[in-house]
Amino acid sequence: MDVRTLIFLVGVIGLSFYFLGRYRIVTQSAQAVQRPHSLLHYYGLYPFFLAIIPSCFIIAIMQVADGFVLSILIEQYLPADIRGGDEFNKTITLSRIENIASGVIFGSPEDWLIAAANKWLIWSERAQLTTTILAISSSILLGSYAYMKVNPGFRSRNAVEQIILVMMMFCSGVAILTTIGIIFSVIFESLRFFALVSPMEFLMGLTWNPQFEGAERAGSGQEGLATYGSVPLFAGTFLISAIALTVAVPVGLMAAIYLSEYASPRIRATVKPLMEILAGIPTVVYGFFAALTVAPLVRGAGESIGLTVASESALAAGLVMGIMIIPFVSSLSDDVINAVPQSLRDAALGLGSTRSEMTKQVVLPAALPGIVASVLLAVSRAVGETMIVVMAAGLAANLSANPLDAVTTVTAQIVTILVGDQEFESAKTLSAFALALTLIVITLVLNLIALQIVKKYREQYD
Amino acid sequence: MTNTPDNAPKSAILSPQDAEARVRASMATRRNRETRFRMWGIAAIALSMCFLVTLFGTIMSKGIPGFFQYYVTLDVTLDRERLDPAGDLSDQSLFDGDARGLVRDALFSTLQVSGRSNRKAAGKLISLGSDERLRDYVRTHPEQLDSEQSLKFALDDDVDSFLRGFISRDTPESDRRINDKAIGFIDQLQEAGLISYEISDYLFFGSASRNAEMAGIKGAFIGSILTLAVCLSLAFPIGIASALYLEEFAPKNRLTEIIEININNLAAVPSVVFGILGLAIFINIFGLPRSIPLIGGMVLALMTLPTIIISSRAAIRAVPPSIRDGALGIGASKMQTTFHHVLPLALPGMLTGTIIGMAQALGETAPLLMIGMVAFIVDIPGSITDPGTVLPVQIFMWADFAERMFIQKTSSAIMVLLAFLVVMNSFAVWLRKKLERRW
């Protein structure tokens, strides 16, 4: 039985238990002339939940696990040379078997492949049958167990509420599971990468050139052609982020100051949402704008004054990224500037200072920690930004501080390496995970510092 | 702020008259500084508005023409024998038929061309999709077989660019993508009034195609809807349940604190990392297929979850304790209080946060590239387990193509995407204004 019918069936069983439970409590309380402990629908919900929740878990687990178990079981049907061979060949063979089993046949496969595919079919049918039996029987058994418990003295509401509470706890655990998933998926692959390439080379190396991996694999005898020094990538990332910040910080900060110190409420009410539109535009749109409008413009302007500008210059990507993060800087700074107590402003104005003197000498120093935090958050945003650099920055890993050169970034490399077909187990693929790990560490540290500053600062005026 | 000039001895006590004189003397500079500072503020805002206008202006100036394209009207004889050799109007029979030849014959007779090379040049004028268009027409109008009909066919993308003036007649023939013969034919068609500039039906109803004139966003659009549906159905219940748990039930202990820090950190993780999570866990470990909206939705759900949880918690916190006390006081259980009283009152705020999260998910590209939604998929996905792509990824792919017409189509696709974002965000704002109660 396929999954959809199975889920539907479990749902039907659950619903019937709901009505059965309700019916039972109505008849029983009439016979016993006893008021039930809980409201009637709780007596239906209890069997309903017990009938469907464990079954749904069983279905989900079996769905995920069967691929695993099948590939382990099928391994014994592979010829010895593939079974003992490298992971790469094994994966390819397994996916060939899977294709044959689902009816997609290229050319004329070997006999043992067809035999394995037949086994695969038989076992996957068995797996489905097991899932069906397990899910349906647990649904019926647990449902009937709950049904038997229904009587006027049974504290059904408490039981149902306990189930709901556990489910809610489970939901809030999803956030933790996500973090664990991120950490595991990145750390395991990174460790495998660092087994191939030394961490020192990765962190200190000055050339990034993963392209020659193929030559090495083909056994050309040349080794170590691919180099994984990540310094140029981080240099490029920080160059582009620095350009972005030189645009975003002055503009965003001045806008925030004007909006909170000078603007009338009406102007504030119109301008603030307009600026936030900039934050809501998808990054792919910024990337398109950078690649098609800003980059040629920068190139043209540079060449007209006699500079050589790469067509995918860091400047174009940085400028557009700067536009994108203006609203982050301005809305966060706006919040902290507004949090400065009015009494400080009144005192400064009362002593005869002008508004700009008050802002520069009283409000900004008071708000400085918060502003620093907002800049740090903007940095972490710029470092993690992907689409703009994928579309507008280059892929050549130049180690350069010249904003007119083409540089590449960590995120752009991750995307280029992992999009499309990957080579299994190659250092090139694994390097993307190591890059992601460093990226996560950097953004996380920036965020933690920023949040800590904000927290400290809040305590000052609360 | 007292402006003490540097040359004044610090200890000397100024007479009120002297002090006034000095303040007066400095007033001009101070006023100037004040005006300048103010001007900087206005300039910053003007600059950001200017960026906004330029961005929208560029996209619109390219995107609005992209909604249109050039068509040519041809009188086609719908010859039953040639179109439908088996006579049953089945897909196979129509495919075996010679729709392409019929369209070409109609074009040749209109242009009165003869000779191999002339025919070759003329044949390149119309889109490669013309035969499919004719087949579709016959499928919907079988009664018109064996009659002559005026039908519109799209022109090839190079011809389209020429008609828009992007390819100049003055460039030498060898440097143009369109030769002199073809230009002659185009002039002939234009003089006969057969070329029209109309709203592009391919853009809205076509699917991914390498031919610019036939490319459309329908597949990506449906992919986006499926992905968002998965994302919403996962992120909304999970987000609200965890927000309710954390605000109303969770004991204030270390574990809860860890969960809270965790959620705040997740909100700051770059989106591309969620793509890596999807690739490593959902595809490599769970063995789910690539490029399907189900995985896209799952990844986006994990990504938007922090946004939803944070805004939902704020909405729950805004519900006054008196509501809870009232419900508890008349005998409701904690769970009943939460679900019957707190949740309905907090729901508008939660919905606002969810819509904003969904708008974020709709525009997200990078994580979907990681899980393979970037593949070239012509079929329109019918369910969440069919391979598909989404609007932003489609935009990313089109932006890479060199044909002039793709730039316009990309801009049009961006306009559609932005229109959806605007609708979603204004709905969120409206919902907040309409339903949110102030206590």
Q: Find the closest chain B residue to A435 by CA distance.
A: B273
| pLDDT tier at A219, thresholds 50, 70, 90 | very low
Q: How confident is the model at residue A195 (pLDDT cuts 50, 70, 90)?
A: confident
Domain that holds residue B29: 1-66
Judge if B222 and B363 occupy the same domain: yes
Kindly state whether residues A126 and A253 are assigned to the same domain: no
Q: What percent of chain A has pLDDT over 90?
A: 38
Measure A181 CA to nearest chain B CA, in Å: 7
Residue among B33, B21, B138 at smallest CA distance from B90: B138
Tell me the pLDDT tens digit for each residue of A256-315: 999 999 999 999 889 988 888 888 899 999 999 999 889 989 989 988 988 888 878 889
Residue B178 lies in a domain: yes
pLDDT at A211 > cutoff 70: no
**pLDDT at residue A220, rounded to an integer:** 44
Q: Are A56 and A140 in contact (CB under 8 A)?
A: no
Name the H helices within B192-217: 201-205
* Statement to judge: residues B61 and B107 lie in one domain: no
Residues B122 and B74 in one domain: yes
Task: Judge if B192 and B234 occupy the same domain.
Answer: no
Q: Average pLDDT of B281-285?
A: 83
Helices B116-123, B180-191: inter-axial angle, 10-degree rounding: 70
Please tell me which of the candidates B34, B43, B49 has its beta carbon nearest to residue A356: B34
A412 and A334 in a single domain? The answer is yes
Do A143 and A231 belong together in one domain? no
Of B47, B249, B369, the CB nearest to A419: B369
Judge whether A241 lies within some domain: yes
The secondary structure of B278-324, three-state, reads HHHHHHHHCCCCCCCHHHHHHHHHHHHHHHHHHHHHHHHHCCCHHHH
Tell whether the model's pLDDT for residue A17 goes beyond 90: yes
Q: How confident is the model at residue B320 (pLDDT cuts 50, 70, 90)?
A: very high
Q: Would you state the pLDDT for residue A225?
A: 62
User: Are residue B178 and residue B72 in the same domain, yes or no?
Assistant: yes
Chain B residues near residue A169 by CB distance under 8 angstroms: 245
Domain endpoint, select from B47, B66, B85: B66
Domain's final residue, options A131, A154, A173: A173
Average of per-residue pLDDT across B342-347: 92
Chain A residue numbers touching B59 (CB-CB < 8 A): 285, 289
pLDDT band at A421 (very low <50, low <70, confident <90, very high): low
Q: Give the Å distances, CA to CA, from A67 to A58, A120, B198, B285.
A: 15, 10, 51, 9
Pair (A262, A385) in one structural domain: yes
Average pLDDT, chain A: 85
Domain stops at, among B140, B171, B199: B199
Whether residues B251 and B346 share a domain: the answer is: yes
Q: Is residue B209 part of a domain?
A: no
pLDDT confidence bin for B88, thresholds 50/70/90? confident
Q: What is the span of the domain harbouring residue A125?
A: 3-173
B213 within some domain: no
Q: Is the minimum CB–CB distance between A182 and chain B shorter than 8 Å?
A: yes
Specify whether B225 is located in the same domain as B193: no
Tell whether A294 and A382 lie within a shared domain: yes
ipTM rounded to 2 decimals: 0.88
Distance CA A262, CA A244 (A): 26
Average pLDDT on B17-41 reads 91
A270 and A163, same structural domain?
no
The CATH number of whichever domain residue A417 belongs to comes to: 1.10.3720.10
Separation in Å, CA of A175 to nearest CA in chain B: 6
The reply to whether residue A171 touches residue B370, judged by beta carbons under 8 angstroms, is no
Min Cα–Cα distance to chain B from A415, Å: 7
Residue B300 sits in a domain whose CATH number is: 1.10.3720.10
Residue A223 confidence (pLDDT) = 52
Domain stop point among A137, A154, A173: A173
Rounded CA separation B294/B289 (Å): 9
**Is residue B212 included in any domain, yes or no?**
no
User: Could you report the per-residue pLDDT of A327-378, keeping only the tens digit for each?
Assistant: 999 988 998 898 888 999 999 999 989 999 999 999 999 888 889 989 998 9
Across the interface, whether the CB atoms of B59 and A281 are under 8 A apart is answered no
Look at residue B382 and tell me if it is in a domain. Answer: yes
Nearest CA in chain A to B413: A285
Amino acid A288: pLDDT = 93
**Dihedral of alpha carbons A95, A96, A100, A104, sign:** positive
B59, B179: one domain? no
Of the candidates B33, B242, B276, which has its C-beta nearest A172's C-beta?
A: B242
pLDDT for position A62: 85
At A103 the three-state DSSP class reads: coil
pLDDT greater than 70 at residue B69: yes
Straight-line distance from the first to the last Cα atom of chain A, in angstroms, rounded to the nearest whole number: 61
pLDDT of residue B1: 43
Contact A288 B410 (CB under 8 A): yes
Same domain, B62 and B102: no
**Domains in chain A, number:** 2
Residues in chain A with CB shorter than 8 Å from the CB of B409 are none
Residues 404-423 of A with CB under 8 A from B: 411, 414-415, 418-420
Q: Do A299 and A362 fall within a single domain?
A: yes
Number of structural domains in chain B = 3
Angle at B315 between CA B313 and CA B318, to 5 degrees: 110
Query: Sign of the C-alpha dihedral, residues B262, B267, B273, B279?
Result: positive
For residue B361, the distance in angstroms to the closest alpha carbon of chain A comes to: 9
Same structural domain, B227 and B375: yes
B189 pLDDT band, cuts 50/70/90, is confident
- Do B92 and B39 share a domain, yes or no? no
| Contact list, B392 vs chain A (CB under 8 Å) | 282, 284
The reply to whether B392 and B380 lie within a common domain is yes
Closest CA to A321 of A406, A398, A414, A239: A239
For range B281-300, the mean pLDDT: 86
Which residues in B lie closer than 8 A to residue A361 (C-beta atoms)?
A: 1
Q: Is residue B211 part of a domain?
A: no
Confidence of residue A218 (pLDDT cuts 50, 70, 90): very low
**Per-residue model confidence (pLDDT) at position A36:** 87
In a shared domain, residues A271 and A145: no
Instruction: Among A129, A153, A173, identify where a domain stops.
Output: A173
Q: Count of CB atoms within 10 A of residue A41's CB?
A: 16
> CB distance from A271 to chain B under 8 Å?
yes
pLDDT greater than 60 at residue A212: no
B268 and A323 within 8 Å at the Cβ level: the answer is: no
Position with higher pLDDT, A383 vs A85: A383
At A256, which amino acid appears? A
A7, A46, A292, B403 from B412: Cα distances, Å: 41, 53, 14, 15
Which of residues B10, B42, B66 is at a domain's end?
B66
* pLDDT for residue A196 is more than 90: no
Question: Residue B383's pLDDT band (boundaries 50, 70, 90)?
Answer: confident
A420, A410, A385, A387: which is closest to A208 by C-alpha? A410
Residue B427 in this model has a pLDDT that exceeds 50: yes
Composition of chain B by helix, strand, coil, percent to 5:
70, 5, 25
Instruction: Give chain A's count of helices (H) and strands (E).
Output: 19, 2
Q: What is the pLDDT of residues B114-173, one digit of tens each?
A: 778 888 888 888 888 888 888 888 888 888 888 888 888 888 888 888 888 888 888 887
